[in-house]
Amino acid sequence: MEIINRVRTFLCMDDEEEEAQHALADEILRDYDIRGIFGENLFADCAYDIGKAFGTILSRQNLRTTCVGRDCRNSSNVLYQNLIKGLTNTGAEVVSLGLCHTPLMYYCVHRLNLDAGIMVTGSHNPPQYNGFKFTLGEDPFCGNSIKNLGEMIKNKDFVEKNGREVVLNSVFSSYVSDILDGFHFTDDVKVAWDIGNGATSNAIKAITKLIPGKHHLLFEEINGDFPNRLPDPTIAENIEYLSKFVFYNGFDIGFGFDSDGDRLAAVDSNGRMLFSDQILEILAMDFLRKNPGAQVIADVKSCNRLFDSIKKSGGIGIMERSGHSFIKIRMKSSRALLAGEMSGHFFFKDRWFGFDDGVYAALRCLEIISRDKNTFNNLERGCVTPEIRIICDESRKFNIINSVRHRLEHENVDLVKIDGVRVTSSQGWWLLRASNTQNALSLRIEASSPEDMLALKEKIRHYLVEDIGNIDEILKLKAHE
């Protein structure tokens, strides 16, 4: 009986409200979400307090309705249940979506005109991670808002009201119907869908049953241990099986998704992985044919070729800091209808709602392929690296970026500082920034030639050797030419 009581207390399941046993760790309060390691710096009672704090924010703005979903991670259900309990104890009316992908949560907020939404997800991170993505109406809830939420939890600054939880079973079928509206596909396309055991499974299974073509689903069984690959599809090793499957079976394209379905990766018919800025380039060219002069937003990690292509296609390219929340804010302020970032988030306000939805982005790609199967084949890359992640202690990564920025500011260089440092010269450009979702620095390089690539790598090594040490092995990563 004592063991049962301890479990109930840990899960915040006692009939009378208990004081949270775990303080909310500052390091899990990220720029655009809350994310940590379950059982290490994120616990079930933290979810209860997060629910109470967010519910209090809603109450004080005379808002009430919010939807909540969860991905398939083993820790997601307990976090989900405690989050809902915290929300309803502050008077919120919660539409519970259960197991779903993040775009369904966004869709529910937009389609039903709800006041807010929260998704319990570790996104593209390994299985032990989990966290919370928020939206306040159609606007991101990020930056100082998340920090203020953390302060509210520390001060126990909560309101106490009675709310309720409701279930809407029609949301999923409405999403499937709406997402396919206006698309035209051909019967002869062959597509592989690497679900990666994630929460997109139900949506992709439902959608592929309704559209023409041959569709083969890989790793469709939902499993929070992710037994077949890690959740991040933008890392080539994680979709190696997809690449081989597409090539050896003669498929036209392959799509890969993260655990909560807001990211998309793709491989061409040769099994070659496409960079996200290459995908955005094709999407932008198609979009600009119908919307000449329109703006297209890309994040700071994107290569110069993308911005040049947008300009040549009659569009206006806008560079923004990385992060889905910041992209959405810039889309609203600029009224841009299309955006994307190297992490595989694509945003369509054109024919869709403007949030990042990996499944919808895949359908836009499939629509293009239905007109020309070779569109994504043999795309030029130039001399450019993928995104390189340099493991770095969470407490040091921003200090390292500040140190490098300070040194560059005293040199005669072309420097962009909207997100980390992006340095441009006649040899090319390089970017160094702190990841907001991992304990890592993010590095990318684009050079005019292989010789210039080596020279730029040597400059980067010079700037980092003091803080990181020897990174020669990391910089040996071959650029795609």
pLDDT tens, the chain, 481 aa long: 334 443 443 444 444 444 458 999 999 999 889 999 999 999 999 999 999 999 999 999 999 999 999 999 999 999 999 999 999 999 999 999 999 999 999 999 999 999 999 999 999 999 999 999 999 999 999 999 999 999 999 999 999 999 999 998 899 999 999 999 999 999 999 999 999 999 999 999 999 999 999 999 999 999 999 999 999 999 999 999 999 999 999 999 999 999 999 999 999 999 999 999 999 999 999 999 999 999 999 999 999 999 999 999 999 999 999 999 999 999 999 999 999 999 999 999 999 999 999 999 999 999 999 999 999 997 887 899 999 989 888 889 999 999 999 999 999 899 999 999 999 999 999 999 998 878 889 999 999 999 999 999 999 998 888 778 777 777 775 555 4
Q: Contact 33/121 with Cβ under 8 angstroms?
A: no
- pLDDT computed for residue 480 by the predictor: 54
Q: What is the CATH number of domain 383-475?
A: 3.30.310.50
Side-chain-facing half-sphere of 239: CA atoms under 13 Å? 31
Dist. CA 95–CA 383, nearest whole Å: 48
Q: Which residues contact 284 (CB under 8 A, 6 or more apart)?
A: 296, 306, 309, 310, 313, 315, 338
So where are the chain's domains? Answer: 2-170, 180-371, 383-475
Average of per-residue pLDDT values in the chain: 93
Q: What is the pLDDT of residue 168?
A: 85
Fold of the domain spanning 2-170: Alpha-D-Glucose-1,6-Bisphosphate; Chain A, domain 3 (3.40.120)
Q: What is the pLDDT of residue 3?
A: 41
Per-residue pLDDT at 392 = 87
pTM summary value: 0.92
Residue pointed to by tokens 């306040």: 136
Residue 382 one-letter amino acid = G
Q: Tell me the two tokens of residue 63.
A: 């808002």
CATH of domain 180-371: 3.40.120.10
Euclidean distance between CA atoms 134 and 321, whole angstroms: 19
pLDDT of residue 393: 85
- Asked whether the domain spanning 383-475 has the same topology as the one spanning 2-170, the reply is no
Strand arrangement, sheet containing 214-218: 214-218, 190-194, 253-257, 264-267, 273-274
Contact between 342 and 156 under an 8 Å Cβ cutoff? The reply is no
d(CA 330, CA 416): 17
So which residues are the catalytic ones? 123
Give the per-residue pLDDT at 10.
40
Tokens coding 196: 């990666």
Please check whether residue 415 is in contact with residue 403, taking contact to mean a CB–CB distance below 8 angstroms.
no
